[in-house]
Amino acid sequence: MIDFSTTFKGKKVLITGGLGFIGSNLAHRLLDLDAEILLLDALIPGQGGNLFNVSDIKDRVRVNISNVCDLNSLSHLVSGQDYIFDLAGSANHQDSIGDPFADLEINCRSHLTLLEACRRVNPDARIVFTSNRNQYGRLTQTPVNEQHPRLPVEPNGIHNITAEYYYLLYNYIHGLRTTSLRLTNTYGPRHLMQHHKQGVASWFIRLVSDNREVYIFGDGKQIRDLNYVDDVLDAMLLTAATEDTVGEVYNLGGSPICLADLVRKLIEMTGTGGYKLVPYPDQLKITEIGNYVADYSKIKNQLGWEPKISLHDGLRRTIAFYERYKQHYW
């Protein structure tokens, strides 16, 4: 087993999207491992960037408010970094249909810019990219392994595929040390909870906590595969610390559950909220993917990663966090 404390101790780490949900949780974890951390974030409106996410560690990390798409400033920021976790992006599927150009910028050009900056000034950095299960789009088989056909149902999926290919290409032609993790629905503390676009689990947690009724589209039997954020961080650190993963892609996954069962569980845990099954709105019917269950045996077999936090424990920790810090996220 890798001893993270020696791997990251004293190392320079850049986290793009570092004020967002996963990025800020990663910053906390890496700080515990004595890494020297630089957080880059453009605080894009409607996305999860939130200064409160790092308020307790603000004196121990450096924060740079800038856009990854600015090659000049980025080249300065990537210089000298040992590890780069590229989390600047958006998993907002629906918005990518309304504004595909904005999505192209955030989820594709940004990553190409990061790779170009590294190629020019820091080709030795170890780079981990967080991609998205929405590359697979409409599902033809389940569980979904990395070879599943990629049939995106919105521009966000296409931009994710393209960005991931850039990571693999820059490894192939320039020797950059890149790896892509295909994340599924991730939930936990420090997520944006103001609207439904950041993820179904977090949004349902908010509605139930507010004692509101959750409208579930269709029969509620659609399955999503959830990961608690700490398990995702484990996968990211393990990947970054293992040279064999360079040039590879891996699925993450762990707790498949149908949406109706998820809501029933939340209602039971909080003692509040309710739910109602409602017909699928037409514009969402077309982008429904089917039941998503990840096959994460590749990373399990190669690195021994598997989620450690049960769905119950993850939800319990998440509900407790927002009960305490609600005013910063609602």
Q: Which residues bind ligand NAD (CB under 6 A)?
A: 16-17, 19-23, 40-44, 47-49, 67-69, 87-91, 106, 110, 130, 132, 183, 185-186, 192, 199
Cβ closer to ligand NAD: 43 or 319?
43
Nearer to ligand NAD, 20 or 137 (CB): 20
In whole angstroms, the minimum distance from the beta carbon of 94 to ligand NAD comes to 13
DSSP string, 136-190: SBS-SSSSB-TTS--B-SSHHHHHHHHHHHHHHHHHHHH--EEEEEEE-EEE-TT
Instruction: For residues 241 and 11, give the distance between their C-alpha atoms in angstroms, rounded to a whole number.
Output: 12
Please report how close the Cβ of residue 286 comes to ligand NAD at its closest, in angstroms.
Answer: 21
CB nearer ligand NAD, residue 44 or residue 277 = 44
Query: Within a 13 Å sphere around the CA of 170, how many CA atoms are in the beta-carbon half?
Result: 29
Three-state SS for 214? strand
Helix (H, G, I), strand (E, B) or coil at 251: strand
Question: What is the gyration radius of the CA atoms in the chain, in angstroms?
Answer: 19
CA distance 312 to 309: 8
CB of 230 to ligand NAD, least distance (A): 13
Q: Which is nearer to ligand NAD, 113 or 171 (CB)?
A: 113
Q: Closer to ligand NAD by CB, 138 or 277: give it.
A: 138
Q: CB atoms < 10 A from the CB of 72, how many?
A: 8
Q: Shortest gap between Cβ of 49 and ligand NAD (angstroms)?
A: 3
Min dist. Cβ of residue 180 to ligand NAD (A)? 11
